[in-house]
Structure 1
Amino acid sequence: MRIGELARRTGVSERSLRYYEAQGLLTSDRTPGGHRDYAEGAIDRVIRIQEFYAAGISSPKIAELLPCVRDVDGGPSEIATPRLVDDLSVERDRIDRKIDELRRSREVLDDVIATAAGEGTDGS
């Protein structure tokens, strides 16, 4: 599929897809006319890349991680190194801390909403 179709099907801009290629996160073949041609599995790869970015993982770390991640095309082509496992454990711990912070923020908002709703219902 061409870059425009991949962008449409994943919701990711063509510019971002080109960036992913430049970072070694995504690959494409070239048509005789020089256009990028992506395999169907690129959709899942782009979605996975987006998930990693959303988790706050950097491009270099994603590049290390992707070969170790099972995709729809079969499985990991490399085994994760002990260093990568350690690094990813640190990332997971960071995400857990962020989740805890977000839960606390939500609790504060819930209290404010409950208080505001209670004040509005008694006529004060």
Structure 2
Amino acid sequence: MRIGELSRRTGVPTRLLRYYEEQDLLHPDRAGNGYRSYGESAVQDVQQIRGLLDSGLTTQMIRVILPYLSGPEQIHPPRACVSEETAALLSGHVERIQARIDCLARNRDRLAAYLAAVRSQGDR
């Protein structure tokens, strides 16, 4: 598929798709006329990149860990190939994600309690 189709299917502007390529996150083939050509798996790749960006990772961090994230049922490359630096990077980010989840859960609970209190006062 061409870049416009990938953009339409993922909701990611073509400008960002080109940026992901510049950052070595996407690797489209090139047709003879220079047009980018993406395989079907690029849709999932872009969704994975967006999710990682949304979770707070930088493109540099994503470039390091993306090869390991082909899916929970597969680990590529083998565990022995993961450096201590990469393992520490992943561990640190898991801890930061958990802290954000905990904060969001506390805020959700507080807002829900506030909303319940406001609604119960309105019933009087």
By the TM > 0.5 criterion, same fold? yes
Aligned-residue sequence identity (percent) comes to 38
Number of equivalent positions: 120
Give the one of 84, 87, 90 matched to 2:92: 90
Deviation per CA, 1:23-60, whole angstroms, max 9, x where unpaired? 00001111111111111111111111111111111100
CA distance in 2, matches of 1:77, 1:51: 21
Moved over 3 A (4+): none
Q: Which runs of 5+ in 2 are unaligned?
A: none
> How much does 1:11 deviate?
1.4
Deviation per CA, 1:63-101, whole angstroms, max 9, x where unpaired? 000122225xx8625732221111110000000001110
Report the residue type matching 1:118 in the other structure: S
RMSD of aligned C-alpha atoms?
1.5
Tell me which residue corresponds to 1:111. 113
Give the TM-score normalised by structure 1: 0.90
Give the TM-score normalised by structure 2: 0.90
Tell me which residue corresponds to 2:7. 7
The answer (yes or no) to whether the contact 1:65–1:80 under 8 Å persists in 2 is: no
